[in-house]
């Protein structure tokens, strides 16, 4: 009985850890915190300034508007709070963080960013060093919840004899501890805690380490800009750069601007229709709204053809290409697999090219859940297809700046052209399912085996298994974010709710399969 209970206990611990890993982001989305409020205020004020017209004096005053008063609310000093906001404002304008050993204004270099063209200085994701809490990378310690029990399982399970009883309480010798966590799992009182740096814990690329002062630092040779560190830093020390100001400046010009909205939009803005969302875009000054799921249908067709033609005769397996963080990770860590990643253009790019085929003079704004799409849109081969990238979070702030509530908007006529398969790209497993459905139509006798992974750590494990030959003949789907695009860094609601909304939208489409897209006749032209 003791063995069974012990195994049950271990299962509970493992299950709790999984919930912690996959649920933290889920639980925090949709909950208004000081972090989300300040972040939204920064984006909103930048958007408001863009609509009202650039004013350097107003911009310089924004830290005082966002952080009013004399008493600090979140940090040791109100001056530090404002300094952090100042850096975040620069990032929201697409600018780099300042060096704090040089005297410069928060407006330094701003003239280059107050334009109607795509702009931001690399890197996309950065760390405000003086905002970093210097969290321990990996530390196991005993809390005052220790009961000095008779059994002392923490002592017994430690493989390095790092745990002992000192003055009636468990004590861990940090010089011996290997952070295995066995003592954590063994303690019935949860008195022993394993503390990890939140941003590093969720980084599937192990790209975050400590600098010489113990502050977090990003290794850009490893980073794929998935943004998971961004949403999991409790101190709001990690920032991403935005194109809000540039997008609005373009919208205010005479150039027609089209919004290409990703299928993960479902559920992000409450119980609203795509027709109401279209009305909101029109009120902001956009010309029209197009579903990126249309591009997903075209991507489905291309990947189905590629898989049918290449696997297994010319290559052992094929990996999907729509998630940029996943595909970049695969090419970085498994360069031998680079030829096996589909060459199909992503839904974002195909949609952008389709819009510009019909409206060559237009600018296209991708509005979606993903931070990595900002980097994808900046590639030389793609720059002309997508002019700006906004996240759902940034779009929501623009709405707030204009006092627009989507649920109050009237319905605009919107005839959905995408299939259920294309909409399903937003959730984990949706890409593989869409491609499999297409292959079944193209070649009904062809058996399609699929495997999928979500979260970069799991994606790496999938490719490591692929090295053994276990996935020969398979279609592999990788998603950088746990849950798929619905859990991207730019989303604003729990991924569970968004997944449910995407599935409802998918079930209500007239056309189930992407293979039947009426736009497939343009594929050869779009791929040039």
Domain topology for 138-196: Alpha-Beta Plaits (3.30.70)
Coil, strand or helix at 360: coil
pTM (predicted TM-score): 0.91
Query: How large is the C-alpha radius of gyration of the chain?
Result: 25
Beta strands in 310-440 (DSSP E): 318-319, 363-368, 388-391
Coil, strand or helix at 389: strand
Residue 281 tokens read as 């875009």
Query: What are the two backbone dihedrals, phi and then psi, of residue 58, each rounded to the nearest 5 degrees?
Result: -60, -40
pLDDT at 458: 97
Query: What are the two backbone dihedrals, phi and then psi, of residue 288, each rounded to the nearest 5 degrees?
Result: -165, 175
Distance between CA atoms of residues 19 and 27, nearest Å: 10
Distance between CA atoms of residues 229 and 241, nearest Å: 14
Query: What are the two backbone dihedrals, phi and then psi, of residue 120, each rounded to the nearest 5 degrees?
Result: -165, 150
Give which of 189, 192, 195, 163 is closest to 176, Cα–Cα: 163
Distance between CA atoms of residues 265 and 424, nearest Å: 12
Sequential DSSP letters for 499-511: HHHHHHHHHT-S-
The secondary element (H helix, E strand) that includes residue 433 is: helix 430-442
Query: What are the two backbone dihedrals, phi and then psi, of residue 450, each rounded to the nearest 5 degrees?
Result: -130, 155
Distance between CA atoms of residues 377 and 90, nearest Å: 21
Contact 85, 63 (CB under 8 A): yes
pLDDT at 286: 98
Domain boundaries along the sequence of the chain = 121-132+202-241, 138-196, 255-513
Cis peptide before 303 (omega within 30 of 0): no
Residue 293 tokens read as 């799921």
> Cβ neighbours of residue 336 under 8 Å, at least 6 residues apart?
none
Distance between CA atoms of residues 342 and 12, nearest Å: 39
Coil, strand or helix at 487: helix
Distance between CA atoms of residues 8 and 3, nearest Å: 9
* Sheet bearing 257-261, strands edge to edge: 288-291, 257-261, 363-368, 388-391
Coil, strand or helix at 197: coil
Coil, strand or helix at 395: helix
Contact 477, 450 (CB under 8 A): yes
CATH architecture of 255-513: 3-Layer(aba) Sandwich (3.40)
Contact 510, 421 (CB under 8 A): no
Give which of 150, 151, 158 is closest to 184, Cα–Cα: 158
Give which of 392, 384, 382 is closest to 363, Cα–Cα: 384
Beta-bridge mates of residue 208: 218
- Please report, in tens digits, the pLDDT of each residue of the chain (528 residues total): 333 334 433 343 343 344 434 444 444 677 788 899 999 999 999 999 999 999 999 999 999 999 999 999 999 999 999 999 999 999 999 999 998 888 889 999 999 999 999 988 889 999 999 999 999 999 999 999 999 999 999 999 999 999 999 999 999 999 999 999 999 999 999 999 999 999 999 999 999 999 999 999 999 999 999 999 999 999 999 999 999 999 999 999 999 999 999 999 999 999 999 999 999 999 999 999 999 999 999 999 999 999 999 999 999 999 999 999 999 999 999 999 999 999 999 999 999 999 999 999 999 999 999 999 999 999 988 989 999 999 999 999 999 999 999 999 999 999 889 999 999 999 999 999 999 999 999 999 999 999 999 999 999 999 999 999 999 999 999 999 999 999 999 999 999 999 999 999 999 999 999 999 999 999 999 988
| DSSP letter (8 states) at residue 255 | S
Contact 403, 356 (CB under 8 A): no
CATH class of the domain defined by 121-132+202-241: alpha beta
Task: Provide the total of helices (H) and of strands (E) in the chain, helices listed first.
Answer: 20, 15
Residue 507: exposure state from Cβ atoms within 10 A (0-12, 13-18, ≥19): exposed
The secondary element (H helix, E strand) that includes residue 330 is: helix 324-333
121-132+202-241 against 255-513: fold identical: no
Question: What's CA 373's distance to the chain center, in Å?
Answer: 9
The secondary element (H helix, E strand) that includes residue 283 is: helix 274-284
pLDDT at 380: 87
* Sheet bearing 318-319, strands edge to edge: 318-319, 474-479, 449-454
| First-to-final CA distance of the chain | 67
């Amino acid at each position: 009985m003791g063995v069974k209970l012990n195994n049950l206990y271990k299962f509970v611990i493992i299950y709790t850890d999984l919930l912690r890993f996959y649920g933290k982001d889920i639980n925090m989305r949709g909950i208004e915190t000081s972090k989300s409020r300040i972040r939204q205020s920064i984006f909103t004020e930048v958007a408001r300034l863009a609509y009202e017209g650039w004013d350097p004096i107003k911009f310089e005053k924004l830290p005082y508007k966002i952080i009013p008063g004399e008493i600090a609310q979140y940090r040791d000093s109100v001056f530090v709070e404002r300094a952090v906001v100042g850096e975040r404002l620069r990032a929201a304008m697409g600018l780099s963080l300042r060096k704090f050993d040089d005297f410069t204004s928060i407006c330094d270099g701003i003239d280059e960013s107050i334009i109607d063209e795509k702009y931001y200085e690399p890197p996309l994701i950065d760390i405000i060093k003086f905002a970093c809490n210097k969290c321990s990378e990996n530390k196991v310690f005993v809390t005052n919840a220790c009961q000095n029990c008779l059994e002392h399982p923490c002592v017994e399970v430690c493989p390095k004899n790092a745990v002992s009883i000192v003055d009636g309480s468990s004590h861990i010798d940090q010089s011996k501890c290997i952070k295995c966590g066995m003592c954590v799992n063994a303690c019935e009182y949860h008195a022993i805690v394993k503390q990890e740096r939140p941003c590093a814990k969720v980084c599937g690329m192990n790209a975050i380490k400590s600098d010489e002062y113990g502050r977090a630092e990003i290794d850009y040779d490893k980073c794929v800009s998935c943004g998971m560190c961004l949403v999991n830093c409790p101190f709001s020390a990690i920032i991403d750069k935005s194109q809000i100001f540039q997008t609005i400046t373009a919208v205010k010009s005479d150039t027609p601007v089209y919004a290409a909205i990703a299928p993960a939009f479902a559920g992000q803005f409450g119980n609203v229709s795509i027709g109401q969302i279209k009305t909101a875009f029109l009120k902001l000054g956009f010309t029209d709204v197009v579903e990126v799921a249309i591009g997903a249908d075209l991507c489905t067709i291309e990947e189905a053809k590629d898989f049918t033609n290449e696997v297994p005769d010319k290559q052992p397996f094929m990996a999907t290409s729509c998630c940029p963080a996943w595909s970049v990770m695969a090419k970085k860590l498994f360069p031998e697999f680079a030829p096996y990643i589909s060459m199909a253009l992503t839904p974002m790019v195909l949609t952008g090219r389709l819009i510009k085929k019909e409206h060559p003079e237009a600018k296209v704004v991708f509005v979606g859940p993903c931070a990595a799409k900002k980097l994808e849109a900046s590639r030389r081969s793609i720059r002309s297809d997508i002019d700006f990238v906004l996240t759902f979070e940034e779009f929501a702030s623009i709405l707030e700046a204009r006092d627009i509530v989507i649920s109050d908007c009237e319905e605009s006529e919107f005839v959905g052209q995408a299939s259920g398969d294309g909409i399903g790209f937003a959730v984990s497993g949706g890409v593989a399912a869409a491609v499999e459905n297409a292959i079944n139509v193209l070649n009904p006798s062809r058996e399609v085996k699929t495997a999928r992974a979500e979260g970069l750590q799991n994606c790496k494990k999938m490719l490591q298994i692929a090295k053994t030959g276990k996935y020969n003949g398979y279609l592999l789907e990788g998603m950088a974010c746990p849950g798929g695009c619905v859990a991207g860094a730019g989303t604003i609601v729990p991924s569970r709710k968004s997944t449910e909304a995407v599935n409802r939208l998918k079930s209500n489409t007239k056309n189930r399969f992407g293979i039947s897209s009426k736009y497939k006749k343009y594929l050869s032209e779009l791929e040039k």
